[in-house]
Structure 1
């Protein structure tokens, strides 16, 4: 987890800036992100079914890590829209499978009833890695930036894509030694409602509703986040400001994530997820009146309530609803929903930003985030097996 999430520390802050430096418009940047991530709709379900059928993930993790490393290394040599689309599709899908596979692996080693605490305790180390890599990348570029009046061009950003992809090679090596426990007897409640347990149709309905809410959430969050580094640059920020902004949000994410897993085990998944859904539109609105980089950095601290919760508990929610032998496919569905959202969100945001500016883009995404929050609060049920059983008993 440390290495997988560390890779995002150089990707998230600098990919949009690099694409802009490659003479691509905001609409084209959105198209690259959209089509690259949209490939997850085809690729992630196939990888999920394959890993469940083989009941093994290590070999796929190695392959995905190496292909991601290759794709992002080739960024330095790419020219034109479609070259970046192809490389982004390869790199993004490799990264997405690594996250999905670790979600399944951690679920299999989690004590019953403590999935939230266990997953969050592993995931928090990924956030620590993100902070280290993001700050290191910003510091590296700061050293190379001798002329502060010069914008960040491709030659200046080249070291990030020369050394950053090495992290994926380290992921491939570490995956060879990662525990990959085989499936056990189905441990997800499948008894009838007379025992207080959800039936399979109940769980499938809950999963569909959660994936819908998750789609709206990811659509607004990652649509807007894809342009945060460009927003910072528009406000006059340099490399250290950009990476410091992202790292500050992840510091808050770490503080939340260290506690939120255990809280969700005690109170249920729904209450803590509700906090993330409600906080998102507020956060997006707060970006709009920004007068400088410091304002954006302060607002970004709310990321702790967003990804600090959603990054861990969404995976756990899906694990609650899936049997041990189905979790690969279930996590692939989550990845595909996130992939579709992360594809369509930046695409729409790019068109809005190109036509009306980045401030208007944040406003539109806040509205979509609010719709997702209302849908979640009104339609998505609890998933925690113990909390679900207790609520059904109390209802009688």
Structure 2
């Protein structure tokens, strides 16, 4: 987007710095993620319940920091330093998993990774609000998401190659390399280019009402969206690891490569979806796009139960590119709509992330127990039921959030 302009606080800033940051942060996170679950099950011979326990405990402890981290990002001017520090700690955690892949070291490292992972999404969204005017926000957030997905494709392909040529364990050593590159991209954004008032949810021109934290509980659409996001992630989070484990059980030598294929298949779809969300969110509104994204998930969960063939499973995973792609691209925009002028944008992001993360963390343990006792098909159908409830709640209770200042009118509160 060559015509993309920033507020002229510092002409040294170039949008490609933010592009690179989104791309590289995806690389850092993508070199862990589902690869850890597959590694623990296939190489270390952990039970599904043990993997689910680690995922649930580390995830739930990480959730404690979500909202405080959002408040810190709202208040601090050292947003770049926060990202760099989080990258350094995440690299240390990945190295610890590589060096000591037994229960307690993995539990401690994974918990640390969950804690510092709270920083990236809200901090990048805050930087975006502080660097771009409101009229450019939908397209810029869509572009952020597109580069995030491009990074996921790149790291999944590279991780698959490393896992095939070397070992699944060697994949974790990609994290410190990507973390260093991500730190350099972060520091390439001049601190003076960031409007810190707008970065925490102020209107263009610096009009911020400095609302209390009670705004999180009195904004009904925010509560509805948080509930829907929780159910969406409860349903979505375990599906890819479950599919990866099914593929690994049948084709152990190709476990990492097949997991990479699943990730790449979805991410290649997410990239154009994110750009489309950025293009159309101001034209047709947020809710129609959200409904399309939420409707895909229950269908995908059911389709997983129809066949165990690798081609089928990877093909169904393409649908994740639509559902998760829409959710990831539009969530920062919906929260920006609801928190405009309150000065509580990043706190709200943290609160929603906490609630959706709780759903994702609990689902890891729940899915592991269900698989151990009833099988993969039952776990997928349970996820589909939760996704259907989320869709119904969105239809009934979630209003359009685009305000009258955008192309599509609609209430915010």
Aligned counterparts of 1:390 and 1:12: Cα–Cα separation in 2: 38
What is the Cα deviation at residue 76 of structure 1? 1.6
Aligned counterparts of 1:175 and 1:91: Cα–Cα separation in 2: 19
1:17 matched residue in structure 2: 38
1:161-172 aligned within 5 A:
161-172=172-183
**Unaligned stretches of 5+ in structure 2?**
1-21, 210-214
2:392 matched residue in structure 1: 374
Secondary structure of the structure 1 residue equivalent to 2:238: helix
What is the Cα deviation at residue 177 of structure 1? 2.7
1:252 matched residue in structure 2: 269
What is the Cα deviation at residue 240 of structure 1? 2.1
- Pair 1:140 & 2:158 matched: no
Q: Is contact 2:231–2:356 with CA below 8 Å preserved after alignment?
A: no
1:191-340 aligned within 5 A:
204-236=219-251, 238=254, 239-323=256-340, 325-340=343-358
Secondary structure of the structure 1 residue equivalent to 2:344: helix
Change (3 A) 1:292 1:57: same
Change (3 A) 1:190 1:70: closer
Residues paired across the two proteins, number: 373
What is the Cα deviation at residue 385 of structure 1? 1.4
* Aligned residue among 164, 168, 182 for 2:196: 182
1:344-359 aligned within 5 A:
344-359=362-377
Aligned counterparts of 1:42 and 1:101: Cα–Cα separation in 2: 17
What is the Cα deviation at residue 83 of structure 1? 2.4
Runs of 4+ deviating beyond 4 Å: 188-191, 200-203
Aligned counterparts of 1:349 and 1:47: Cα–Cα separation in 2: 29
Greater Cα offset, 116-125 or 324-333? 324-333
TM-score by length of 2: 0.84
Aligned counterparts of 2:47 and 2:130: Cα–Cα separation in 1: 44
Greater Cα offset, 383-392 or 293-302? 383-392
TM-score by length of 1: 0.88
What is the Cα deviation at residue 207 of structure 1? 0.5
Q: Is contact 1:13–1:246 with CA below 8 Å preserved after alignment?
A: no
What is the Cα deviation at residue 108 of structure 1? 2.8
**Unaligned stretches of 5+ in structure 1?**
145-155, 192-199
What is the Cα deviation at residue 165 of structure 1? 3.2
Aligned counterparts of 2:29 and 2:85: Cα–Cα separation in 1: 18
Q: Is contact 1:26–1:354 with CA below 8 Å preserved after alignment?
A: yes
Q: Is contact 1:203–1:321 with CA below 8 Å preserved after alignment?
A: no
Change (3 A) 1:271 1:74: same
What is the Cα deviation at residue 228 of structure 1? 2.5
- Pair 1:28 & 2:50 matched: yes
1:42 matched residue in structure 2: 64
* Aligned residue among 35, 59, 84 for 2:81: 59
What is the Cα deviation at residue 326 of structure 1? 1.4
State the Cα RMSD in Å. 2.3
Secondary structure of the structure 1 residue equivalent to 2:251: coil
Aligned counterparts of 2:218 and 2:331: Cα–Cα separation in 1: 15
